[in-house]
Amino acid sequence: MTSVIEWMDAWSREQPTRVYLRDARCDRFITYGAMVSLVRRWQADFDEHGPRVGGRIAILVSDPLDFAVVFLAVLTSGRHAVPLDPDAPPAETERALRHARPELVVTDRSIPAPSGVRELSPRMTLDPVPVGPEVDGGHGPVVGGHGPVVGGHLEVDDHGSVAEQGGVLLTGSAPAGPTTQVFLGTAQLSYVAATVARHHQLSRSDIGYNPLPLFHANALVVGLLATLYSGATLVLDRRFRRRGFWTMIGRHRVTWINGVPAILAILARDRDAVRARDCHVRFVRSAAAPLSVRVLQAFEEATGVPVLETYGMTEAGGHLTASPPAGTRKPGSVGVPVGSEVRIVDDTGTVLPAELTGKVQVRGPGVIRAYVGPDDGHRFTDDGWLDTGDIGLLDPDGYLFLSGRSDDVINRGGEKVLPREVEEVLLADPRVRRVTVVSRPDAVLGEVPVALVVPVDVPDPRLRTDLAERCEAGLTKFKRPTSIEIVADLPAAAGHTHAAA
């Protein structure tokens, strides 16, 4: 089996009653057989209301199970999914829609859709669907306990052309701006998901837990698709909650956790961490941001659960390197290349030997070769290497150690904040002359954005409050500065500062 369509089809026939997705906070779930039926229903809707194969469908849905069904339906129908942040304020949602230009939006809310974009409201995807032919010896797959539904085959021609045309459009990690677009086709997504599943030794007996946002590559590929490849179960959570965490993990019999360093830092200090020893968690996968050795050691000491450090980027489907689940794990390293190649080069592009620090470049079947539309073309070499923007070294054993970034992206607990995007929101206030957004160390999140603002005239006493309200209205929560400081001038080192026109 080599593609998402084949995985869904095979598991729906082989194990239709096995749970594929489960809601972390209630009893709702979707079996493999039910997923195929729901996906086919959505595909019929897309054929009736949506764009042709290859068209874009935006997904703005809060419920993780509903989101997953719609995403898989878009992907396997040969169309392009555009996942959006359901918690973003209306102004940011409107900007994202204008830039992505979808022909259809599947949403559970009222949105300021650009002119010409149609909306399709997600009916309750977990309602029972009509009873059909019995499968699995008379015990049909169930949806959230509502009753039997029909399993079945997804339609695709002998060459898999529909699968090849499907994909997902995401925002990249390039420093060129907040609208850099990355397209990952179904073949790339399938390759990375299979690579992740094999490396982490996932099997049908595994139950994963994912609290990470589904509009990011990590949760989509490492969570949804790697689980699908394995025929396993994934518990989806809308957000991480410390209170009662290990009790919830034990109740769902979770065997692995898809996390980020900020979650590990919180759990390492949780007084209930000892409960982890009564669970059956094989490992926690840490991704999206650097994990300090101190936090790693504190977490493992408190919980007894090993941490597998990983490294990835949107441009590679969220996965490039990982610590081995069995064998040597080196604290401070993000592991060895898995399904991709990694090299270190100097400013001239010359490959550096082990132990020398330089620019991290990657290539492989899961790595894009170009961005969508105008892009940072200089980041790609003629032979397929992508400059990640990260700085690091490879040790003699091939383990990658990261030491920083060559651009000004702020990594806030795994969420990437582009200073320019925040600065543009602040500069919209006519009382602001110049502004720069810089990072400040944070014990839990690693770093957070801070805004330094130079006013046009004598500072208005309400300026700081008004700017905070402007950020609240125009930026997703993680992008908002943790503090806004009114200053007479900007530091000379703030080379990327922006000024009002």
Task: Copy the structure tokens of residue 313.
Answer: 């980027």
Domain 330-405: give its CATH superfamily. Answer: Luciferase; Domain 3 (2.30.38.10)
pLDDT in tens, 45-79: 999 888 999 999 999 999 999 999 999 999 999 99
Mean pLDDT of 218-227: 98
Query: By three-state DSSP, how is residue 233 classified?
Result: strand
| Closest C-alpha among 60, 64, 50 to residue 22 | 64
Q: Residue for token digits 């089996």?
A: 1
Q: Give the pLDDT band (50/70/90) at residue 113.
A: low
Which CATH architecture fits 410-499? 2-Layer Sandwich (3.30)
pLDDT at 168 over 60: yes
pLDDT score at 117: 66
Angle CA(197)–CA(324)–CA(214) in degrees, nearest 5? 40
Which segments of 357-399 are extended strands (E)?
Answer: 358-363, 386-394
Work out the widest C-alpha separation in the chain, in whole angstroms. Answer: 78
Which residues fall within 8 angstroms of residue 356, CB to CB, at 6 or more apart? 344, 393
pLDDT at 492 over 80: no
pLDDT in tens, 74-104: 999 999 999 999 999 988 888 888 889 999 9
Q: Where are the domains of the chain?
A: 4-172, 330-405, 410-499
Question: What pairs with residue 309 in β-bridges?
Answer: 286
The domain made up of 4-172 is a member of CATH 3.40.50.720 = no
pLDDT in tens, 208-217: 999 999 999 9
pLDDT in tens, 260-315: 999 999 999 998 899 999 999 999 999 988 888 889 999 999 999 999 999 999 99
Mean pLDDT of 1-25: 93
pLDDT at 174 over 90: no
What region, left, alpha or beta, does residue 25 occupy, with left being phi > 0 and alpha being psi -120 to 50 degrees?
A: alpha
pLDDT at 134 over 70: no
Q: Give the pLDDT band (50/70/90) at residue 150.
A: very low
pLDDT at 126 over 50: no
Q: For residues 403 and 285, give the distance between their C-alpha atoms in angstroms, rounded to a whole number.
A: 20
pLDDT score at 144: 36
pLDDT score at 47: 92
Handedness of CA 187, 191, 197, 201 (dihedral sign): positive
Q: For residues 346 and 342, give the distance between their C-alpha atoms in angstroms, rounded to a whole number.
A: 14
Distances, alpha carbon 111 to alpha carbons 21, 195, 366, 415, 461, in Å: 28, 37, 33, 24, 34
